[in-house]
Amino acid sequence: EDQVTQSPEALRLQEGESSSLNCSYTVSGLRGLFWYRQDPGKGPEFLFTLYSAGEEKEKERLKATLTKKESFLHITAPKPEDSATYLCAVQEPERLVFGKGTKLTVNP
């Protein structure tokens, strides 16, 4: 069965302090890797989909990259409003398999 592991479990940054979140996966034939953001009490909000190694996507202060074994979510000069849990998932044929998430806190 596909496995998705996210690290670290929690990350605390100062505003403006750039960092990266990791998502490692084992899957036979990647169909898609998804990043979501989840705020407390809300459902996951879609950020990015990556399909092949070497692919990169950007949105504001976030940049997602993909290799054959892992994906990184780079956060550049984060702001307090970037505080959330970031979820990574891989697509099995008819479902998403999620990691447990990284809880990011950005202090002003």
Q: Which residues bind other proteins (CB under 8 A)?
A: 4, 31-32, 34, 36, 41-46, 49, 51, 87, 89, 91, 93-101
Kindly state the smallest distance separating residue 50's Cβ from other proteins, in Å: 11
User: Measured from the CB of residue 57, what is the shortest distance to other proteins in angstroms?
Assistant: 12
**Which is nearest to 104 in space by CA: 59, 61, 58?**
61
Identify which of residues 6 and 65 has a Cβ nearer to other proteins in the complex.
6
Question: Looking at the chain, how many residues does it have?
Answer: 108
Q: How far is the CB of 96 from other proteins (least distance, A)?
A: 6
Of residues 4 and 106, the one with the C-beta less far from other proteins = 4
Please identify, using beta-carbon distances, which residue of 3 and 105 lies nearer to other proteins.
3
Write 36-45 long-range contacts (CB < 8 A, 24+).
Answer: 36/86, 36/87, 36/88, 36/89, 37/84, 37/85, 37/86, 37/87, 38/84, 38/85, 38/86, 38/87, 38/101, 39/84, 39/85, 44/87
- Local structure of 9: helix, strand or coil: coil
34/75 with CB nearer other proteins: 34
CB 78 → other proteins: shortest distance, Å?
A: 23
Beta-ladder partners of 26:
3
